[in-house]
């Protein structure tokens, strides 16, 4: 395995997240350690039919019904989006998580990197999570080593945290004074709990809308404490990190708000996502000097307001430091691809609970 920094290369990363809304792709110039430059980015939305196919395959494992159809959607969408870019030497392809059960059947990201390598004529790094799970890790979250690089890029000097509010929430506490992210004192990371996914499901069920845009519905509702308390009794919050979740692990949340009117249900679910983060912050080894928020939830003023009210550090979108909260995860997989190519680890005991730092990811090169 080749270790070391080498010269920075342009990598193209792609992520299709748990919200099932589309694929993000972004270019990053990196040597696998530092960030040299951010490049172009683009997004391709899933059509209603594509989203239906993906949704139908959630919870399914290789070979099961609906998986081949989901794979075709993922590969076509990625090929269409990634072929718009020029100048990449390597691609980091996350694929779409259909199921995630690290202590059970494993983790399943659909999308064949070898086929994508052929289609794009570029080396593709993919299947980032399986090796970590095989070595006893959670296989998620994987963005933390990139969050560490972002902290170096913004020249942070004291412990701080990144929060991703996607379908699921994940938190990275990090100490930028450490030399490398695999240093056991550098990062602590885990999934905080459900973020937007159950709220989106509620919006679809009650209003036929994909999400609560700008927190409009929640802002007119009241948080029902009883439901919030029942939610916080869930055993997941007592578990020590690292720990991770599948998109629908908290689907019972919908039952907790079943009797509430639409606005109260939305407000209470928004509060649940924020409360899960607040619980998670208790696990940080020291109080972070700031919390930088990425992912779609940073655009929800009600969720952000609840976080600001409940936490004693500044809570800002990552744009406050010049990062792009719509593309951070795509950039993360560009970064991780270069790390894999260079034999550098992509996760460690304090980010996924894996036994030792591991470089997860398979490399496929075009044969033609
Ligand atoms: N203006 C907005 N107001 C409220 N919520 C928003 C807004 N914009 C986006 N969101 C929420 O953010 C979600 C998308 O977030 P994001 O793209 O970070 O998710 P993802 O990458 O699919 O998820 P994950 O990180 O869990 O894989 C939307 O489904 C919606 O719930
Ligand atoms: C198994 C899986 O795909 N997990 C996702 C999901 O979406 C958010 C959260 O749960 C995080 O653990 C992870 O994604 C990000 C990109 C990560 O690995 O850091």
Predicted ipTM? 0.98
Q: With a 6 A CB cut-off, is 246 part of the ligand 1 pocket? A: no
Q: Does 9-141+326-364 match 158-321 in CATH topology? A: yes
168: closest CA among 190, 135, 146? 190
The CB of 141 under 6 Å from ligand 1? The reply is no
Question: What local confidence, expressed as pLDDT, does residue 1 receive?
Answer: 41
Which of 141, 297, 335, 360 is the pocket-test mutation for ligand 2 (most atoms within 8 Å of CB)? 141
The answer to whether 30 and 6 are in contact (CB under 8 A) is no
pTM recorded for the entire structure: 0.97
Query: How many residues does the structure list for the chain?
Result: 368
Question: Which two structure tokens, joined as six digits, stand for 227?
Answer: 């439901």
pLDDT of residue 2: 43
Query: From CA 57, how far away is CA 71, in angstroms rounded?
Result: 9
| Domain 158-321 in CATH 3.30.420.40 | yes
Name the one residue in this structure whose structure tokens are 């039952």: 255
Residue ranges for the binding site for ATP? 17-24
Is the CB of 213 inside a 6 Å radius of any atom of ligand 1?
yes
DSSP E strands in 21-123: the ranges are: 22-30, 35-45, 90-101, 106-110
**What CA–CA distance (Å, rounded) separates 206 from 199?**
10
Give the domain ranges of the chain: 9-141+326-364, 158-321
d(CA 63, CA 70): 11
Asked whether 138 lines ligand 2 (CB < 6 A), one says no
Quick one: which ligand is closest to 193's CA?
Answer: 2
* pLDDT computed for residue 5 by the predictor: 59
Distance 312 CA to ligand 1 centre (A): 24
Closest atom of ligand 1 to 215 CA is 4
Consecutive 10-residue averages of pLDDT for the chain (368 residues):
72 96 98 98 98 97 98 98 98 98 97 98 98 98 98 98 97 98 97 96 95 98 97 94 92 91 98 98 97 98 98 98 98 98 98 97 94
191 touches ligand 2 (CB under 6 Å): yes
Residue list, annotated binding site: 17-24
Fold (CATH) for 9-141+326-364: Nucleotidyltransferase; domain 5 (3.30.420)
CA 205–ligand 1 middle distance (angstroms): 17
Candidates 169, 168, 167, 147; CA nearest to 156 is 147
Q: Decide: 165 and 196 in contact? Cβ < 8 Å.
A: yes
CB within 8 A of 255, min separation 6: which ones? none
The minimum-distance atom of ligand 1 relative to the CA of 212 is 4
């Amino acid at each position: 395995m080749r270790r070391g920094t080498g010269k920075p290369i342009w990598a193209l990363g792609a992520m299709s997240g748990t919200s099932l809304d589309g694929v993000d792709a972004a270019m990053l110039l990196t040597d696998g350690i530092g960030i040299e430059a951010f490049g172009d980015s683009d997004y391709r939305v899933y059509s209603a039919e594509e989203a239906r196919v993906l949704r139908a395959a959630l919870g399914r494992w290789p070979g099961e019904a609906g998986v081949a159809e989901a794979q075709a959607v993922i590969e076509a969408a990625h090929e269409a989006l990634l072929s718009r870019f020029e100048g990449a030497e390597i691609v980091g392809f996350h694929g779409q998580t259909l199921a995630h059960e690290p202590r059970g059947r494993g983790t399943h990201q659909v999308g064949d990197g070898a086929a994508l390598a052929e289609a794009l004529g570029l080396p593709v790094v993919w299947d980032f999570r399986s090796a970590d799970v095989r070595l006893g890790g959670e296989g998620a979250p994987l963005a933390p080593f990139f969050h560490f690089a972002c902290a170096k890029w913004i020249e942070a000097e004291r412990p701080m945290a990144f929060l991703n509010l996607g379908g699921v929430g994940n938190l990275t506490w990090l100490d930028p004074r450490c030399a490398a992210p695999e240093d056991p004192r550098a990062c602590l990371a885990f999934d905080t709990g459900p973020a937007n996914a159950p709220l989106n499901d509620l919006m679809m069920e009650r209003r036929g809308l994909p999400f609560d845009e700008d927190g409009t519905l929640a802002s007119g509702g009241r948080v029902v404490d009883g439901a919030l308390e029942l939610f916080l009794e869930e055993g997941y919050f007592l578990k020590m990190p690292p720990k991770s979740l599948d998109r629908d692990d908290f689907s019972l949340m919908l039952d907790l708000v079943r009797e509430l009117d639409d606005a109260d249900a939305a407000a209470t679910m928004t509060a649940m996502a924020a409360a899960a983060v607040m619980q998670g912050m208790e696990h940080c080894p020291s109080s972070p000097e700031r919390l930088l928020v990425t992912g779609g939830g940073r655009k929800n003023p009600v969720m952000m307001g609840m976080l600001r009210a409940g936490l004693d550090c500044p809570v800002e979108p990552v744009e406050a430091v010049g990062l792009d909260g719509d593309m951070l995860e795509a950039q993360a997989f560009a970064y991780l691809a270069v790390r894999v190519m260079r034999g550098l680890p992509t996760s460690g005991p304090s980010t996924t609970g894996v036994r030792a730092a591991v470089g997860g990811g398979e490399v496929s090169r075009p044969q033609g």
